[in-house]
Amino acid sequence: MTHQKKLVVLGSTNIDHILNVPYFLAPGETLSAHQYQVAMGGKGANQAVAAGRAGANIQFITALGDDHFGQDALDQFQTDGIDTSLIKIIPHEKTGVALIFVNDEGENMIGIHAGANAHVTPQMLANHWDAIESADALLMQLEIPIETIQQATNHANEHGVLVALNPAPARPLPDELLSKINIITPNETEAEILTGIKVDSAGSAIQASKILHDKGVTVVIITMGKLGAWVSENGVGHLIPGFKVDAIDTIAAGDTFNGVLMTALLEGLPLQETIRKAHAAAAIAVTRKGAQPSIPWASEIDDFLMNH
Ligand code: RIB
């Protein structure tokens, strides 16, 4: 039997409270929603779930509150094939929360409260160095303290573990951190915040990618919504279009893309094919409501690719 490469996802878990509204509210306005949904979310958890459902050998490092949401999340992760042995329950703390508006175009606005996610500290990580060392790849986002991301990156780097960063939510990042990232996956907004280049075309994607390569990142993948993904490796870039579907809710589309991308990379697929698979998974996710309820299983991704 061949050894299945191991992915460690380090990041946040949230409970998403989602209101589907006809349009985004103006200050002072009150609006009735078509629907209210409470669903599992959080960028780290969504990416871990996407990897688990896509068939990865995946371990998730996160922190949960000691409320019933934390227990529900833990149960859900186990159902999704995730190794939960390193997940910490924080006494007297709430599980992270996201308040989300989704408009009739399927776009979203998100406010978050860290709760237990703020406890994913370098001290917590100090108990888990061996998990990171024994991984083949580490995937992170930016909903946990930045010092934790920096230390995990340093440690993974020293041990030859591939480091992938989905730099969401958008924020500037120190060059020292970027110099140790092997794969970065910003969307257009995040790419602009990291590079100062407004990314809206192949030309601007080349410029932004060059800045990130010059800072030391090997592979730059800029997700550009309906246009697809700009993929730049060793300075050579091209656009890989996505699939055209009727999007009703884009929550976790990027997370699904990232989780499936890393799963496919660790399976040994060429970069081009991993992006196609990640695009397929994200295309399925945008046709369904919510974060984790929208994330497909491997068989659904395979069926989609056969039919498109
Ligand atoms: O990327 C989508 C996620 O962002 C949501 O699930 C929400 O929890 C926020 O973290």
Cβ atoms of 231 and 184 within 8 Å: the answer is: no
Residue from 66, 72, 255, 303 carrying the catalytic annotation: 255
Can you tell me which atom of ligand 1 is nearest the CA of 46? 6
pLDDT number for residue 235: 82
Cβ atoms of 262 and 139 within 8 Å: the answer is: yes
Can you tell me which atom of ligand 1 is nearest the CA of 45? 6
92 phi/psi in degrees, rounded to 5: 60, 30
Residue 195 burial (CB count, 10 A): 22
pLDDT number for residue 132: 97
Q: Where are the domains of the chain?
A: 6-22+34-307
**b (16+ CB within 10 A) / e for 170-192:** beebeeebbebbbbbbbbbebbb
Residue 247 burial (CB count, 10 A): 17
Q: Measure CA 134 to chain center.
A: 21
Beta bridge partners of 293: none
Q: Is 255 a catalytic residue?
A: yes
* Euclidean distance between CA atoms 100 and 109, whole angstroms: 6
Best residue among 19, 64, 102, 112 to mutate for probing ligand 1, ranked by most atoms within 8 Å of CB? 112
User: What global pTM score does this model have?
Assistant: 0.97
To the question of whether residue 61 is assigned a binding role by annotation, the answer is: no
pLDDT number for residue 166: 98
Pairing status of strand 137-140 against strand 162-165: parallel
Q: Helices 271-285 and 253-266 meet at what angle, rounded to 10? A: 150
Can you tell me which atom of ligand 1 is nearest the CA of 251? 2
**Sheet with 96-102, edge to edge strand ranges:** 35-41, 14-20, 96-102, 108-113
Dist. CA 2 → ligand 1 center (Å): 34
Residue identifier of the C-alpha nearest atom 8 of ligand 1: 42
pLDDT number for residue 234: 80
The CATH T-level fold of domain 6-22+34-307 is UDP-N-acetylmuramoyl-L-alanine:D-glutamate ligase (3.40.1190)
17 phi/psi in degrees, rounded to 5: -105, 110
Three-class DSSP category at 72? helix
pLDDT number for residue 256: 98
pLDDT number for residue 106: 85
Residue identifier of the C-alpha nearest atom 6 of ligand 1: 41
Q: What is the pLDDT along the chain (308 residues), one digit of tens a residue?
A: 457 999 999 999 999 999 999 999 999 999 999 999 999 999 999 999 999 999 999 999 999 999 999 999 999 999 999 999 999 999 999 999 999 999 998 889 999 999 999 999 999 999 899 999 999 999 999 999 999 999 999 999 999 999 999 999 999 999 999 999 999 999 999 999 999 999 999 999 999 999 999 999 999 999 998 889 999 998 899 999 999 999 999 999 999 999 999 999 999 999 999 999 999 999 999 999 999 999 999 999 999 999 99
pLDDT number for residue 2: 54
Look up residue 250 and give its DSSP letter: -
To the question of whether residue 44 is assigned a binding role by annotation, the answer is: yes
Residue identifier of the C-alpha nearest atom 2 of ligand 1: 252
